[in-house]
Structure 1
Amino acid sequence: MIETAGRFEEVTLMITHYNRSKSLERLLGEIKAAGCSFSAIVVADDCSTAEHLEYIKGLHQDYDFELVSGPVNKGLGNNLNKGQDAVKTPYTLYIQEDFTPLEGFRTHLENGLSLLKERADFDMVRFYAYNKYPYLKPYQFGFSEMLFKWWYPGLDKFAYYSDHPHLRRSTFFQKFGRYLEGVSGDKTEFSMMMSFLRNGGKAFFYEQHKSILDQVNSADEPSTMTRNRWRNSENFFVRQIRTVYRYVNCYTGLWFGKS
């Protein structure tokens, strides 16, 4: 229950972090400036350097949060798992450290939370995406129900789940399993995306998907996600091979993956 405006008693803010402590500070500051407070804030750190960890510890002077770290970098899946394990509230707001809230963030979060409370059959509310999801049914407050059928045209329909900022039930693992560890970040996200679809996950999507949060990668703290050249190549033949591979990979993952 939201007891006062901007106070989210049933929500924990979970932030994943790796070697971008100034970005983390900016996010915490902007969340506070937006008038939002939470039952708890968990910062899941993927074994950042000593310099960044020292800086984060200094942030405790201005912000109240729990730092969950470890001695070894075990990748995105492990970081998401240990962060979620630290959450004790019914709902989790997940944001990576390189995002910052925009005007109206608090209202959109309040609306998203009300949708999850109203619709017990829904698992998450998505606040951001690189591209608009192709199959949507308008619902309320600018949010739409995401629709998925395996026979819908195109590959973009598979991007139903995403690691981009979202609000979800903290019982997420009970329905969809834990994040895959020991693989690349892309494979971790793909694995959860397939699990979400196979297990009947349902989500709301904000249609103006870049108006709630902005992703900021500065020159001082650029993105730490790396992808191979094959994935990003614009060569015509490589793109055709990549498209065929994606079709095979997505449908195989959907129909024959482990639930």
Structure 2
Amino acid sequence: MVSTSTRYHIITTNMTRTKALIEQDPVVKRETDYYNATIKKIKTVDEFIKNDRVFKFAMKAYGLEDMAYGKALIKKLLKEGVTSPQSMANKMSNPLYKEFAKAFDFAGKGAAATSAASATTGAVQRYIQQTLEQQEGKDNQGVQLALYFKRKASSVTTTMGILADKALLKFVQTTFGIPEAASRADLDFQVRNLEKFLNVKDLQDPKKVDKLIQRFNAMWDMNNATSATMSPVLSLFNQSTEQGMSIDLMMSIAKLRLGGS
């Protein structure tokens, strides 16, 4: 099995080509073509919800695929919009709902909502990215998390933004060796604990984000080591894979620690 660092590098070195391959997939192309041909014809929330293919495409594009069954909830979300502080979108802890309501802003734009970039080209680009991440996740969840973090990092402005996103939290916990059990602690404690390891302002710096991803990739491979990912050097000495850390991983992590996060 290719290491998380290696696979991530292969994908991101030429992201344009990587996405082009996804776009050429017959299923992806069929759904994308249908969406492009249909979305602008939809003028109301009810029409949007009723068209199952368009609705599921949009939900997947904005990271809400698992909630595609909750049409009543999404209908209420879209009809209330995001203007009022009391709207559902502004009350939900998961920021993806608000992002979705802003992207398909029927409440604010009416029939023109489906002509906005966020509902057309933006949605298609996000769908391709989501598909890429999901496909990579089938072979290595670490690669999926690294790609997700790269995409979302700059949008996070508070520590609560990390705690509200399970995937981001998993990334940070893995990167700094924070036990998952820490998530059961008092919320204020969780915030203070995360801030000991990470300054969210660093997420606005692409170089620091890449450094965090390097460290995450090394930690992920260390925590999920198998005989396929172990260093050939160790196999020469007949080391048990249960030891969980190859020499190259130890060297990588040591360098990252010395360099800071």
Structure number with higher relative contact order (C-alpha < 8 Å, ≥ 6 residues apart): 1
**As a proportion of its length, which structure holds more strand?**
1
TM-score w.r.t. length of structure 2: 0.27
